[in-house]
Amino acid sequence: MKRIAFAIAAALLGTGCIVTTSDEPVGTLDVAWWFVRTKHDTTTLSYTCAMAGIDRVAVSSTRGWSDSAPCDAGPVDGALFTAFTGSQTLTFTGYRGGAALYESVFNVTVVEGATTILDADLWGIPDDLDIYARFVDSDGFDVGWSTCALAGVATLSWSLVDWAGTVVDSHSAACTNPAGVSYSGASALDRDQYAIRVQGFPSGSIVETFDSATTRVAPACDGQAFNHYGPGVGTWDVWLYDVSTNLTLCN
């Protein structure tokens, strides 16, 4: 009987409720959720659906039911679910399109005919990511600067910004080979769409000679955007343009 109930529920994904024709006792689960971003320095921020860019939240239960609802289905960010009763473990996953970006697990007890209230912090899902600096000329052509030394770069400075516009990491370090920055292990980067600006400086200089935010032709002064949506990404190349002959530089 449960299989029939869940087949009907599957046809109603996004409604925030389960339609059941079985005699299984049910209760109501009233969930309000936030999305927690962990920055590189381990401090955290709580985002709304809109700030996090999450459009759908899915829930699955060890009691055998599952459902999905728009992220902002309720008067506050959250939704009402009809749930089978009893003690159970719930996994909530926040999606942007088909990408799972936030997830947390909760233990709850649903009571027949009653409403169980749950405040749910969904945490960003971390994955390893290596970002490599690729040194190119002012027009974006590879001219053989495959190492820091060949490009004349001693120091790299970078700023990484998430979907909500938060600076997740801002740092500078000696330019090593391969040039770039690694987020892995305990410092793995939460899944999201990011924009990064990387600048290269010669030894003892405060004037940049390479910058990912501008080219000679189009000085947009913006970070380069990329999707860090799962472990399959792994690496990303950021182009650093030669700005040593530019008449103006980005701030």
Q: Does 249 map to a domain?
A: no
Q: What is the pTM of this model?
A: 0.87
Domains held by the chain: number:
2
User: Same domain for 118 and 131?
Assistant: no
117-131, 175-189, 212-226, 231-245: range with lowest mean pLDDT = 212-226
User: Same domain for 120 and 212?
Assistant: no
Residues 6+ apart with CB under 8 A from 121: 33, 34, 35, 36, 46, 104
User: Same domain for 131 and 28?
Assistant: no
Work out the pLDDT band at 2, boundaries 50, 70, 90: very low
The residue range of the domain holding 113 is 2-124
Q: Does 228 map to a domain?
A: yes
CATH number for position 27: 2.60.40.3540
Work out the pLDDT band at 43, boundaries 50, 70, 90: very high
User: Same domain for 100 and 205?
Assistant: no
User: Same domain for 62 and 83?
Assistant: yes
Task: Give the pLDDT score at 89.
Answer: 98
Q: Does 184 map to a domain?
A: yes
Rounded to the nearest integer, the mean pLDDT of the chain is 88
User: Same domain for 95 and 144?
Assistant: no
Angle 124-64-82 (CA atoms, 0-180°, nearest 5)? 80
6/215: higher pLDDT? 215
Tell me which of 90, 107, 124 is where a domain ends: 124
Task: Give the pLDDT score at 237.
Answer: 95
Residue 15 has pLDDT above 80, yes or no: no
Residue 224 has pLDDT above 80, yes or no: yes
Q: Does 248 map to a domain?
A: no
User: Same domain for 101 and 171?
Assistant: no
